[in-house]
Structure formats: C-alpha cells, structure tokens
Amino acid sequence: EFRVEVEAIGRVRHKNLVRLLGYCAEGAGRMLVYEFVDNGNLEQWLHGDVGPVSPLTWEIRMKIILGTAKGLAYLHEGLEPKVVHRDVKSSNILLDKQWNAKVSDFGLAKLLGSEKSYVTTRVMGTFG
C-alpha cells in the first residue's frame, strides 16, 4: 500500500506542490526524498524570529495564499485518483526564493477514486 500511494504521489507535477524525487522502502524503514525549497516553511515566517520587519508583505501573503489554494485545488480536482491532504498547516507550506508556495507533507494523504464519495467523522491531521 505504501509503494502504491508513494508512486501515485510521485507522478504529481504542479508548481505549487513539493516534488517527490524518490523513496526507499526497506523492511520496516521508509524514507521519502523531496525537492529542496530555499525559504523554509510558512510557519517560520509567521511565528519565528524574522526581525523587526517581516518580509511577508500583503502582496507576498496573497501570493502564498493563492499558490496554496491552487496546489490544493489540483490535488482535489486535477488528479485521478484525487488526493486529500488531511494535514494542511503553515509548517506544511514551503516557500521558494520567489515566495511561491509549495504544499508538502503528504504523510496523511488519502487517494480517492472518482467513482467514490468520501465522508469521515474522524479527525485527521495535527492539532493546534
């Protein structure tokens, strides 16, 4: 199951999704290798020590929001099977040198076929 889901996510190509470059599955060990994204994650820039003036202007913030939304929309509507992330939070939004958002960490992602509807009452993701 791990290999099937990783291979499906590995085929995903979108400018607002972090790219999976490879993986290793040996025994019980699992490792995912993703592209490097220069500017860290959004949580660092929102809640970290960035100095007296944040580089995140309103224009950059809107760019990040729009990029995140485009990445999630592609997961939900642009793929088959569809992917539901299930753990969207600021630490899972990576930022490149030009402040483009890249959604990352598909560890809790769920693949959904188009013929299925999906409803859950179980809470997923990270609290907080």
Q: What is the pLDDT of residues 73-99, one digit of tens each?
A: 998 888 777 777 677 899 999 999 999
Structural domains of the chain, count: 1
Residue 48 belongs to some domain of the structure: yes
CA distance linking residue 33 with residue 111, whole number of Å: 20
Domain containing 69 equals: 2-112
Whether residue 103 is predicted with pLDDT greater than 70 in this model: the reply is: yes
Residue 85 belongs to some domain of the structure: yes
Partner residues linked to 110 by β-bridges: 84
pLDDT value of position 124: 46
Q: Which residue has the higher pLDDT, 87 or 125?
A: 87
First vs last Cα of the chain: how many Å apart? 29
pLDDT value of position 54: 84
Partner residues linked to 22 by β-bridges: 33
Residue 97 belongs to some domain of the structure: yes
| Residue 49 is a catalytic residue | no
Active-site residue (options: 38, 87, 96, 105) = 87
CATH number of the domain within which 77 lies: 1.10.510.10
pLDDT more than 70, % of the chain: 79
> What does the longest C-alpha to C-alpha distance in the chain come to?
51
Residue 107 belongs to some domain of the structure: yes
Rg (CA), the chain: 16
Residue 122 belongs to some domain of the structure: no
Residue 91 belongs to some domain of the structure: yes
Average pLDDT over residues 9-19: 89
Residue 117 belongs to some domain of the structure: no
With residue 112 as reference, give the H or E element that holds it.
strand 110-112
For 14, the 3-state DSSP assignment is: coil
